[in-house]
Structure 1
Amino acid sequence: MAKKNPDTERESLYSNLDKMSTNELLSNINKEDKKVADIIEKQIPNIEKLVDVIVSKMKLGGRLFYIGAGTSGRIGILDASECPPTFGVPDNWIIGLIAGGDSAIRKAVENAEDDIDQAWRDLLAYDISPLDVVIGIAASGNTPYVIGGLKKARENHIVTGSIACNSDSLISKQAEYPIELIVGPEFLTGSTRMKAGTSQKLVLNMISTSIMIKLGRIYGNKMIDMQLSNKKLVKRGVEMIVEELHVSKKLASELLKKHKSVRAVLLAENKNLQI
């Protein structure tokens, strides 16, 4: 019996896309996208287990690595790169690696994802250790670059997680904490940059944000450690200080200039705060 096509490669539920009006195209894409959040909800128990083990490792000094190819690799790099400005953490706490190296972020590198040994070489360049966690990301769940990286990580007693969009995928078999987001066929057949990519991005948002909150990188619901890299963020920081300390905007601005971060201002001006 022929093996069934993976869900991500199955024929679109929609035909004659080239005959649709703009409104029909947008409405039908949106109809498919609406399915993603409900599918993720079913995976929350698995995501929870992975988040908790990552937090336990990072409290001991470990790091989180994402490995992926193509769209999946780019999504991992995007999530990792947004953590330092959002939470004020070093850029080596969460690291995204993509098959083919940094040049593959903007342009596809031929056959890069097919090298089953390269991910481990990439991880070794960061002196990976059993304190760390590796999450492999692949919509198909069968990318050799990711499979090889997870396999070697497990052999070296490193905690592994995975995010795939097909059931019983090969990366799920290599991961201790697998997450499978079965979003079904794409609106444009096989274009996993759509629902599959969206589901991966949403889950990485959940993972990294939850980790940072549990590691104490926020206060209440505020990003008190964000990097003040533009006027908008400085304004947001001033507003946080005004709200928390009940001071004027002028004084809040002066305090922020002096202490360089919202957290530093709050600690300096209110010794009773538990942050």
Structure 2
Amino acid sequence: AFLLHLQPQLDAGGRLIGAEALLRWNREGHGPTPPALFIPIAEQAGLMPALGREAMALACEELARWVALPGADGLVMAVNVSAAQLYEPGFVEEVLALLARTGAPAERLKLELTESLLLTDIERAIEAMTRLREMGIRFSIDDFGTGYSSLGYLQRLPLDELKIDRAFVRDLPANASSLAIVRTIMALADTLRIRVVAEGVETSAQHACLLDNGCDAFQGFLFARPEAVESFRARMSATDALHGSGAQPRGGADRDR
């Protein structure tokens, strides 16, 4: 059985703005297994579309529950979409049917796509994204800056967000090349009028550097590791009190992914 875990995303003011949906394989006798162990097996077996459908279904069911929960107003659920899933016939219809079945609000669902995925068939990707965007669904490019691709396609996509890859965040603020790349991504996003999320933020120094350079939102172990949905719901209900108390993200790196 697969379990849904959620990793919180926070804005520049430290307020909870949503979460990324992550699957954990609950192996009998072994407990939850992280994606790094079961995703390669799923890819080799051609099971990524099925795995993607499972993640999307669990995420939408949870998102629908948020509608009635205190502290969840406006929070967005981010879900990763694989190339095999996006280019499956009927993907758009499947997503819309799932939203209708679960009652999850489309405007609070964000699909995360990688650069390499989009460039597989850019015209087909644009068509699918545009149809879903018309229903209110948001889009983010995950691992941005690692695709070595032309930037010309960006202006054609209905994007809401660029997500800075952890490879660039990891060496901040000391690495001049990483800092230059981060600043370039910030400037590009500003021109396109879309937000920037940094993932893999593990230290206070990284966080401060990203803040100084205008990053909009953050995700990483500095703030929280992926957690069970029950823990995330408790976090939602306590968000206002924690923010009002002036509580800060915990410091120190945590590499137990």
Taking structure 1 as the reference length, the TM-score comes to 0.29
Larger strand proportion of the pair = 2
Q: TM-score, normalised by structure 2?
A: 0.31
Structure with bigger helix share is: 1
Larger Rg: 1 or 2? 1
